[in-house]
Amino acid sequence: MKAYKLHDPKNLDNFKLGTYDEPHVHDHEVKIQVKAVSLNYRDWALANGWFGYPGEKLPMIPFSDAAGVVTEVGASVTKVQVGDRVAVNFFPDWHDGAFSSAKTHRSLGGSTDGVLAEYVAFDEDAVVKVSDSFSFEEAAAFPCAGVTAWHSLVTQAQLRPGDTVLLQGTGGVSIFGLQIAKLFGAQVIITSSSDEKLAQAKALGADHLINYKQTPNWEDKARELTQGEGVGYVLEVAGQLASSLRALKAGGTIFQIGAVSPSDEAPNLRMLPLATQRLQGIYVGSAQMLADLFKAFDANQLKPVIGQVFDFANVKDALAHMGNGAHFGKIVVRVG
């Protein structure tokens, strides 16, 4: 089979296409012919060697998000059949329940081989069936970004109509956050560097738009838009915790997710007790959350937002596209 591997040392020159044996299927595993994969910011950062995982073994198959068709099942598999359409969870060992270090020790395309290959094999509990209403490209968009937003806004926040949610930028996590927040009747304030992208966000239901280039103190604007009260929830992906805290209302929660831009200001955490605010770390989520996310989108005829689709031969172009920040929503690669 054809697969990409990231070799040592990690950089874009060492991101190479090769020919390898197809994976062997163990008793509890299913083999999947991969039809599409999607990119996350982490894939770009890893491919550039910006960080590594403890115990990572190179060369490694990169990327975490895939959808495809089951072509073989192990002797003990009961939940999935040959021919089923499935997507793969970011953490192959976090099937259900709360976070634990053991469940999140292995992450696809990080601390263990990922999905940028024509065939992959995973435990049956690490995969989720996908309804026929989603194309493979759409299904591959859900796992990392979608589950991260779902885990924050639904599992943790238990979002209610009228809640206010602040989203930073228009990348994968934020656009899933927008769709999920609107599904639950929340008010959404979204920021972006681009008025064109803000117009796209408005078309998806965003209530208030802030261009963070034109309005660097976007947190003041967010407070103003909430009549001085502040927002209930922030999906903090920008690395701007100090500003996000200033935008947060008393009793509100910041979900600390990522940091796409360097922060030059230390957050003032001393007021957290007086304002009974929470800072909650989020690390993607379980296969059950992925299944719930698929069901919620399916039941409401929602589709994930895909900015651009690339062919398997052009994965490096897809990475470059992510690197220059031109995308809106998800970037997907068609496999095979």
* Residues at the contact surface with ligand NAP, assessed by CB under 6 A: 40-42, 144-145, 148, 168-173, 191-194, 197, 212, 237-238, 257-261, 282-284, 322, 325
Least separation, in Å, of the C-beta of 244 and ligand NAP?
10
Query: Within its chain, how far is the Cα of 316 from the centroid?
Result: 19
What are the CA-CA distances from residue 84 to residues 6, 72, 78, 313 (Å)? 29, 10, 12, 26
Q: Residue 212 CB, nearest distance to ligand NAP (Å)?
A: 5
- The Cα 13–Cα 7 span in angstroms is 9
- As measured in angstroms, the least distance from the Cβ of 21 to ligand NAP is 31
**Which residue's CB is nearer to ligand NAP, number 32 or number 190?**
190
Instruction: Output the CA–CA distances (angstroms, integers) from residue 57 to 1, 68, 221, in the order listed.
Output: 20, 25, 46
Q: Whose Cβ is closer to ligand NAP: residue 112's or residue 119's?
A: 112
Rank residues 30 and 173 by Cβ distance to ligand NAP and give the closer one. Answer: 173
Please say which residue, 2 or 278, places its beta carbon nearer to ligand NAP. 278
Cα–Cα distance measured from residue 253 to residue 232, given in angstroms and rounded to the nearest whole number: 6
* Smallest gap from residue 40 Cβ to ligand NAP (A): 4
Smallest separation (angstroms) from ligand NAP to the CB of 79:
25
**Min dist. Cβ of residue 255 to ligand NAP (A):** 9
Task: Say whether the peptide bond before residue 59 is cis (omega within 30 degrees of 0).
Answer: yes
Which CB sits closer to ligand NAP, 128 or 241? 241
- Listed residue (119, 140, 113) closest to 310, CA to CA: 140
Q: Which is nearer to ligand NAP, 80 or 333 (CB)?
A: 333
Torsion of CA 118, 124, 128, 134, to 10 degrees: 40
Contact 256, 241 (CB under 8 A): yes
